[in-house]
Amino acid sequence: MNVPVKLQIGDEIRIVAPSRSGAILSEDGVKSATERLEALGFKVTFGTYAFESDLQHSASIEHRIEDVHEAFRDPAVKGILTVIGGFNSNELLPFLDYELIGNNPKVFCGYSDITAIASAITAKTGMITYSGPHFSSFSMDIGREWQTEFFKKCLMQEEHFAITPSEQWSDDSWYMDQENRTFEPTEWKVYNEGTAEGQIFGANLCTLNLLQGTEYMPDLGDSILFLEDDEMTIPETFARDLASLLQVAGEIRGLVIGRFQRSSKVTDEQIQYILDKHPMLQNIPVLYDVDFGHTQPMFTFPIGGEAILNSADCSIELTKF
């Protein structure tokens, strides 16, 4: 795998919107996210069409492609952050210039719907991409410090590091009310104990499944899958989507499941019931309720990178990122 050069203080980060438009963000949100990235030492610039908005709160395929290509083409740009997630980044996949992207490797980070474009880039170019905070995520006040710490560790340092649980988590609508938030203690949970070392693939489950049967789907065999889903899922759809992905993946080495939002009703009981259906999961390490996905805070991890998973002591060490 081709590991992009790590970000450094003074680097330019380009903000692009391959899914939903930046127009859905408030002016205060854009201002605070920009200021916080600048406080980390970055120069922040925006794609020409990052705030274009159509009937579905996105931009045209042509304009989104142009912004992504320009971000990879511009030698001054060292990292690319997505504005936010959404529903339609997979529309771009047939039109991306993967040769251009592969010849200009650089940090590309986002989560949720960005899973489609990030996974496709990794599959087509061999370049590691990253599941982690969007540009908009930096406008969050409480809980941002832990999230930023692991963003920096994954994208700005060379040394191997262990991902450890946050102290507390929340799934409230922080972007609507930054003051009145509810947190509770974090607990990563063990479904099956064991250790595994391997390549990481995954992120948003329902989005990754959109790539099945296409040339944009990574080879998931012998990988450690990191999977999460959002409040639009329910236990039945999570069960269906997980079964579908495991059938495509074949043998995997480990499974790490991000924490579900409460409104999904994917409870401990439901997770145990769903995982019990799969014999392969009885013989590999499996963790769940882990700090990534659509709850806060989240850590950053490399799609196509490598990790050592020890579910018995709830540890994840990134070794290639």
Choose one of 139, 154, 173: the last residue of a domain: 139
Domain span at residue 31 reads: 12-139
For 292, residues 6+ apart whose C-beta sits below 8 A from its C-beta are 111, 131, 203, 226, 228, 258, 259, 298, 299, 301
Give me the pLDDT at residue 66, please. Answer: 98
Q: List the one residue out of 230, 219, 218 whose CA is nearest residue 87.
A: 230
Indicate which residue of 112, 119, 136, 137 is catalytic. 112
Task: Return the pLDDT at 60.
Answer: 98
Assigned token pair, 91: 């529309």
**Domain match, 180 and 250 both:** yes
215 is catalytic: no
Q: Active-site residue 228, yes or no?
A: yes
Write out the DSSP string of 130-157: EE---TGGGG--TTHHHHHHHHHHHHH-
Q: What is the CATH classification number for the domain harbouring 296?
A: 3.50.30.60
Residue 196 and residue 110 share a domain: no
Q: What is the pLDDT of residue 265?
A: 96
Using DSSP's 3-state secondary structure scheme, residue 49 falls into coil
Decide if 154 is inside a domain. no
From the candidates 21, 69, 294, 306, which is the catalytic residue? Answer: 294
* pLDDT value at residue 184: 96
Query: Is 174 found in the same domain as 40?
Result: no
pLDDT per residue as tens digits for the range 119-138: 999 999 999 999 999 999 99
pLDDT of residue 228: 98
Residues 180 and 316 in one domain: yes
| In a shared domain, residues 121 and 206 | no
Question: Is residue 245 assigned to a domain?
Answer: yes
Single residue among 91, 124, 139 that ends a domain in this structure: 139
275: in domain:
yes
Specify whether the CB–CB gap between 160 and 197 falls below 8 A.
no
Closest CA to 127 of 63, 64, 80: 80
* Exposure of 30 in the CB half-sphere (CA atoms within 13 A): 14
Does some domain include residue 2?
Answer: no
150 in a structural domain:
no
The count of domains in the chain is: 2
Averages of pLDDT over runs of 10 residues in the chain (321 residues) are 97 98 97 98 98 98 98 98 98 98 98 98 98 98 95 97 96 92 97 98 98 98 97 97 97 98 96 98 98 97 98 97 98
What was the pLDDT predicted at 80? 99
Which residue of the set 134, 228, 306, 311 is catalytic? 228
Looking at residue 312, its pLDDT comes to: 95
- What is the residue-wise DSSP string for 228-244? E--TT--HHHHHHHHHH
pLDDT of res. 212: 98
Residues 93 and 116: beta-carbon distance below 8 Å: yes
Q: Report the alpha-carbon distance of residue 69 to residue 71 in Å, rounded.
A: 5
Q: Is 57 a catalytic residue?
A: no
Say which CATH number the domain at 72 has: 3.40.50.10740
What per-residue confidence (pLDDT) applies to 227? 98
Selection from 240, 199, 229, 225 nearest residue 286 by Cα:
225
Pair (310, 260) in one structural domain? yes
Say whether both 200 and 272 belong to one domain. Answer: yes
Q: Report the pLDDT value the prediction gives residue 266, as an integer from 0 to 100.
A: 97
Please tell me the predicted confidence (pLDDT) of residue 192.
98
